[in-house]
């Protein structure tokens, strides 16, 4: 049923991608707890293949990261699914996506939230995001990821589209009180986990959700510790 409907919505040459999108959602994400009705509808509505290089369109729905630039990637679908399920974006949310890359997570959140600002530090990726997101109610901005984008805040939800070892005070300051942050957090044990944090005062406390991989965003590395 889903395959027939999905395939009918797009041209025949791309019908296999609609089938692959369904397989990603029904076989990769739902069995692992990504089951929100609104989120699943948004995942169906956003073609992941539009956010990867043309040569990689056929691989867009594999359960793996997709390289989109120098040391940058779209995180694996399940990693992103865990984050979006836990974030539980609401229609009233004001969202900042940090490290938006080509804009896939931004496109999904545009179906779920009041407003989405996509911040990207790489000029090439920012331009790709503007093209991929054309026609959607989102704003793509360019600047250092660790600086955030205070002009559109305060934010009730922040998605870090990659892994972090630390969350800078500059980003915490742009969250509304009680605002949520979804990120892949590298723990002291070296394990990366999808996690959800909430702001209380000047701090964000993260609670782990599930083991999940993503490329570490360089501005969010801990400074090296020297021992003698």
pLDDT over 90 for what percent of the chain?
83
Is CATH 1.10.3720.10 correct for 63-220?
Answer: no
Q: Is 3 left (phi over 0), alpha (psi -120 to 50) or beta?
A: alpha
Phi, psi of 168 (to 5 degrees): -65, 150
The pLDDT score that the predictor gives to residue 222 is 87
- Dihedral sign from CA coordinates of 179, 180, 183, 187: positive
145-193: pLDDT as tens digits = 999 999 999 999 999 999 999 999 999 999 999 999 999 999 988 899 9
Q: pLDDT category, 5, cuts 50, 70, 90?
A: very low
Q: Cα 228 vs. chain centroid, distance in angstroms?
A: 39
> Which residue intervals of 103-191 are DSSP H helices?
104-110, 123-132, 169-172
Task: Return the closest-CA partner of residue 133 out of 168, 180, 97.
Answer: 97
Asked if 44 contacts 21 with a C-beta cutoff of 8 angstroms, the reply is yes
Domain boundaries, the chain: 63-220
Question: Residue 170 in contact with residue 160, Cβ under 8 Å?
Answer: no
pTM metric for this prediction:
0.90
What would the pLDDT profile of 77-89 be if each residue is shown by its tens digit?
999 999 999 999 9
Q: Average pLDDT of the chain?
A: 91
Query: What do you get for the CA distance between the two ends of the chain, in Å?
Result: 64
The stretch 75-101 carries a mean pLDDT of: 97
Residue 79 burial (CB < 10 Å; 0-12/13-18/19+)?
buried
């Amino acid at each position: 049923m889903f395959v027939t409907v999905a395939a009918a919505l797009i041209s025949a040459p791309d019908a296999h991608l609609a089938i692959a999108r369904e397989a990603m959602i029904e076989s990769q994400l739902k069995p692992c707890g990504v089951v929100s009705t609104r989120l699943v509808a948004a995942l169906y509505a956003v073609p992941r293949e539009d956010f990867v290089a043309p040569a990689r369109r056929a691989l867009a729905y594999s359960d793996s990261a997709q390289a989109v630039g120098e040391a940058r990637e779209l995180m694996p679908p399940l990693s992103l699914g865990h984050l979006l399920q836990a974030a539980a974006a609401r229609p009233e949310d004001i969202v900042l996506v940090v490290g938006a890359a080509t804009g896939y997570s931004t496109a999904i959140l545009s179906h779920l939230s009041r407003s989405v600002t996509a911040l990207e530090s790489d000029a090439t990726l920012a331009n790709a995001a503007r093209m991929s997101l054309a026609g959607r109610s989102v704003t793509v901005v360019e600047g250092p990821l660790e600086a955030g984008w205070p002009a559109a805040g305060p934010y009730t939800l922040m998605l870090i589209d990659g892994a972090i070892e630390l969350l800078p005070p500059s980003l915490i300051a742009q969250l509304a009180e009680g605002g949520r942050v979804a990120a892949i957090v590298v723990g002291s044990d070296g394990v990366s986990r999808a996690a959800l944090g909430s702001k209380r005062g000047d701090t964000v406390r993260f609670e782990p959700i599930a083991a999940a991989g993503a490329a570490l965003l360089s501005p969010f590395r801990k400074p090296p510790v020297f021992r003698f």
